Amino acid sequence: MPFIITDPCIGTKDSACVDVCPVDCIHPRKDEPEFAATTMLYIHPEECIDCGACVPACPVTAIYDSPESVPASQKELVEANAVYRAGDAGAVAQAEAIVQQHVQAHADLMAVPPAERAVAHAG
Ligand code: SF4
Ligand code: SF4
């Protein structure tokens, strides 16, 4: 099962996970044209090898080890990770639309600082 990036990445997006991923399956990278416009980063579900290196690298606990581990209040972001494809404008727009819907549906949680958001979702 692939690893999943969730919403504490929003407002953080520091690419620490990209730097440690051995298979370059986290996008967009800072050197990709989509980086400035995307709200968060995404893990390619078929390229992720489940090594776990990205989890301790993330400063805000945004990464879960499987779709099943993602809290109910973040489940739609599993699909956002699944549809995002670097270099595919339609897929990027589709992933970002899911994220924007998620942000609007959880305005209360998005007001929580990124470093505390994962705990807020769990609670
Ligand atoms: S689990 Fe490993 S392969 Fe998958 S996104 Fe994280 S660092 Fe990359
Ligand atoms: S390390 Fe965490 S916050 Fe930073 S880009 Fe990756 S998922 Fe986002």
Q: What is the pLDDT of residue 122?
A: 85
Q: What is the pLDDT of residue 100?
A: 98
Q: Which residue lies with its CA nearest to atom 1 of ligand 2?
A: 58
How many Å apart are CA 60 and CA 112, to the nearest integer? 12
55 touches 6 (CB < 8 A): no
Helix axes 76-83, 89-105, angle to 10 degrees: 170
Choose which residue among 26, 27, 65 to substitute to test ligand 1 binding: the one with the highest number of ligand atoms within 8 A of its C-beta: 26
pTM to 2 decimals?
0.97
Q: What is the pLDDT of residue 1?
A: 79
What letter represents residue 26's amino acid?
Answer: I
